[in-house]
Amino acid sequence: MENNKDDHRLKKVSVICAKGALEDVYATLVLANGAVMEGIEAKVFFTFFGLDAITKKRMKKLHTATVANPAMRMPGGLPFPTWLGSLPFVEAGVSSMMRSQMEKLDIPPVDEFLDMITAGGGEIYACKLAMDMFKLTKDDLSEQVKDVLTVGEFYAMAGGEDSQIIFT
């Protein structure tokens, strides 16, 4: 019997985004978009501060985490001192530089990324518990959000054979 490698190919991926920092949101968007581009069914669940990525008023104002980010580097590769990130306007400046670098690489803004994911058949969901905590309604969210779900509802649609759940 011949073993066909496509028999074990990932068919569905569900990505959970719980953080609202620019780098965390983009990790989620890149993973989901990459899945869609590979023909893999993709569902994205935004919870807690990850909701910022799909909230109309916040999605274009995401910031890079400058405090307690051990991977942060200064130009030249030197470690970014944590205390420096706590100074006024440093986070905004670093975030602006990050967005500028992303623009140079032709990485789309969050709203365009959401469009690309949904246009490719991916689905975007918001967490009901987090929505209730932050007193948000579906009207506060991007049009790309298909529905507001409980965690149980999300798990029910995320599971199955040849599926993977990724938490960013």
pLDDT score, position 81: 75
Domain of 62: which CATH number?
3.40.1260.10
User: pLDDT tens digits, residue range 52-103?
Assistant: 999 999 999 998 877 777 777 777 877 777 777 777 777 788 788 888 888 8
Query: Does 1 reside within a domain?
Result: no
Percent of the chain topping pLDDT 90: 63
Query: Does 19 reside within a domain?
Result: yes
Query: Does 113 reside within a domain?
Result: yes
pLDDT score, position 97: 83
Can you give the residue range of the structural domain that contains 162?
Answer: 13-167
Token output for 150: 């409980």
Please state the rounded mean pLDDT for residues 136-160: 94
Query: Does 132 reside within a domain?
Result: yes
Using alpha carbons, list the distances in angstroms from residue 71 to 17, 19, 133, 141, 168.
19, 16, 30, 31, 16
Query: Does 64 reside within a domain?
Result: yes
Domain total for the chain? 1
Query: Does 29 reside within a domain?
Result: yes
Pairing label, strands 123-127, 163-167: unpaired
Confidence of residue 1 (pLDDT cuts 50, 70, 90): very low
Q: How far from chain centre, in Å, is Cα 30? A: 8
Query: Does 8 reside within a domain?
Result: no
Query: Does 49 reside within a domain?
Result: yes
